[in-house]
Structure formats: C-alpha cells, structure tokens
Structure 1
Amino acid sequence: MAPIVIMLSGSSSAGKTSLAKALQRRMAVPAILVEADRVFPDVPGQHPNWPPNGADHQSLVLTFHRSIAVWASAGLNLIVDGSLPYEDRSLRDACLKVFEPFDLRLVGVRCGVDALSEREAGRPEERPAGWAVRQAADIDVGMKYAAEVDTTARTPEACALELATQLGFGVVGS
C-alpha cells in the first residue's frame, strides 16, 4: 500500500496547523506532520542577494515538495500543512505531480472571512492586513479535494474527527 499524504490547503489563518496537529493525534493511521510555515520563514528573503521571485523561487518551492516526497518514499504517512503555491497554478500543479506515486488526499480547509480577519490580527508574525481574506478568495480555484472542512466555529479536535472519518482513516482515543 502506498504511503498516505494528506495535504491541507486553505488560506492563511484558516486553522490548518491546529487541524493538522489534532488530526495527527486522533487519526488511527500514524503520520508525520510537515509544516510549511516552519520552513519558508527561514528563507533569507531579506538578504540583498536573494532573488525575491522568479526561477529561484519556483525551484525552492518545488525542491521543498520533492523533499517532502522523500519522506513518503521511505514509507512514511504524512500530513502536510499548507505548502501549495496557490498563486502560481503551473507551479502548484508541478508540486502536486511530485505526489502522484502516493495516496494523496487533498483537503480543503475553509473559514469564514470574519473569523479569518480576527485570527489573522492575532497572529504573532507580521503579515499584510487582509492577506488571509485575499487568499481565501481564490485558493480553491482548480482544486479537487478528497475532503473539506470548515473551521469557522468548530474546534480543531472536532474538525479532525470529522476529517479522519471523511477520509476513511478512523480515530484513536475518545
């Protein structure tokens, strides 16, 4: 059986990280959590010799996804938290292609705009105002999800239980 790769896709502040951690705890199938936010803030984007976009940016994003696939190639199940470059459809498709050998389950993580704005304002890192709402407007374009969950008014735990059931993995614990 091919390793499972659960990829959570949703706007910033939609609750992907909290959901991923709850899913990892409750899903009957063990999985390693890979958080994109732990990798990309450490890229030296402010360095004067670091290109802000272009081929190097695309190469970096694709390399990151290939590195995730190495874990799956080793037979490990994964939960990937928010890594897809939604603003560049061809790059997004190239990133998804990396996971074709595996049991890829794309999950749409949604949240209402009022809750997004409130969560975004409470984040510790600096982000442009309205970033999450702008992402939410088109992040799902062209995506085909195996499951979807709305985190607006529900706990990460409740969403994780629903998601594990939707994906057919069952849950552990009570």
Structure 2
Amino acid sequence: MAAGRIVFLNGTSSSGKSSIARELLDILDDGVFFHLAVDGFNAMRTMRDLTQEDLDTALRRTRMGFHRSIAAMVEVGNDVVVDHVLSEPWRLIDCLTLLRPADVLFVGVRCSLDELTRREEVRGDRPSGLAALQYDLVHRHGDYDVECDTGTASPRECAELIKEFLPRRPTPTAFTRLRARYLGVDHELPTTGHMRST
C-alpha cells in the first residue's frame, strides 16, 4: 500500500493555518485529504484544573500522540493536511523522526506580528500575546518547501499556491534537508529552491 501525502502547515497561533487547511480540503481534487490539527487533539483532553507540571506533561504526551497519529494515517495511504505550531525544537525533531521526508510538503505560514496581534484581539479565544511568544520560535529552523504570507494573500490564494506546488515538490524535500541537519541522516540528492507567495 502506497503511503499518503502530508501537507504540513507550520505557523504561529492565529497565522491562518486552519483557514488554509479548510481551503485545501475544498480544492485538492486528486485524493481524499484529512485535516489533522493539533488544536483538535488538545480539545479532546479533559479540561479540569491541573498543576503546571501535570499540564506540561499532558501537553507533551498530546503532541507526541498527534505526531504518531499523523504517521499512522499516512502509513495506510491517507493524504493529510497537518496544522501545527512547531514552537519547541523537540516537536520538529519528533516529526522528522516519525515521518518519511519524501511524503512531506513542508509549508511555512507567515504573518506580520502586528496582524497576528490584531487577529488575537478580534478572536478573543486565545491567550493575549501567544502569537508574539511563538513568533521567533516556529520558523527558527529556517527551511521550507514553500511559504505563504496570510497578511498579504488570502487563505484561498495560499491554498492555490500549495496545490500548484504539491505535485512538484523539490528534491530533496525540506524534511530531508532538516533530517540531515538535526538527525545526521545524510542524503546525496541535488537541492532545488522553494517557492514563496507575495
């Protein structure tokens, strides 16, 4: 059974990942895609009060389970759009360890800090300043196959860019390059550039 494909959206809270994912599910017509969002996994957790230590442990286990759920879905041939916040280095490393790099289109979802702050205030359902805390962390690894900016392009425009790029992913992929850097897994494939929306 052929493995599925992964469109992996990484960006801060309120950067527009979920909106892009919904658009992708609407326009990707060469398979059956599932939207797997880390927020959805967090929402399944019991919401009773926990000590900070217990909460941190529960959140780490949740994210580890999320990563393994992605791998399991893809292993049996499902195509997925992943919506994640790689704000801690271990999250990226865990994904690099679990997911086959050739299956992953790694997408950087960017937005200006001013716009992220405005969106947080409008939404009112996220801790104030969350995006600012994540802003310098989520893209620190500095390597994507394709990037989009939701401050200058609509979710549909970003989704169309990703759809156009999906069948012609670079060789090696960003995940292949990042595995070489973080896990010491070498490759000898030629590097090609990535795309970015304006």
> Which TM-score band applies after superposition, normalised by the shorter structure?
0.7 to 0.9
Q: CA deviation at 1:6?
A: 0.9
Structure 1 unpaired stretches of 5+: 170-174
CA contact (8 A) 2:3 2:76 kept: no
Number of the residue aligned with 2:8? 7
Residues 11 and 48 (structure 1), Cα distance of their counterparts in 2 relative to 1, 3 Å cut: closer
Q: Distance in 1 between matches of 2:83 and 2:91?
A: 17
Alpha-carbon contact 1:109-1:149 (below 8 Å) kept: yes
Q: Over residues 113-167 of structure 1, what are the superposed CA-to-partner deviations in whole Å (9 max), with x where a residue is unaligned?
A: 1211111112252x22221122122211115211111110321111111121123
1:101 is displaced (CA, Å) by 6.8
Structure with the higher fraction of residues in helix conformation: 2
Q: Which one has more relative contact order, counting CA pairs under 8 Å at least 6 apart?
A: 1
Structure-2 residue corresponding to 1:97: 97
Distance 2:143 2:97 in 1: 14
1:91 Cα deviation after fit: 3.7
Gap regions ≥5 residues in structure 2: 169-198
Conservation of the 8 A alpha-carbon contact between 1:2 and 1:102: no
- Per-residue CA deviation, residues 37-90 of structure 1 (Å, 9 max, x unaligned), is 112133235434781224x543332122112211111101100112x4422x13
Counterpart selection for 2:71 from 69, 72, 89: 69
Cα drift, residue 20 of structure 1? 0.6
TM-score, with structure 2 as normaliser = 0.74
Matched to 2:121, the amino acid is A
Kept after mapping to 2: 8 A contact 1:15/1:109: yes
Q: Does 1:26 align with 2:27?
A: yes
SS in structure 2 at match of 1:122: helix
| Conserved 8 A contact 1:5-1:105 | yes
Q: Which residue of 2 aligns with 1:52?
A: 55
Give the conservation status (yes or no) of the 8 Å contact 2:11–2:86. no
Q: CA RMSD in A?
A: 2.2
In the alignment, what sits opposite 1:172? none
5 Å matches for 1:140-159? Answer: 140-159=139-158
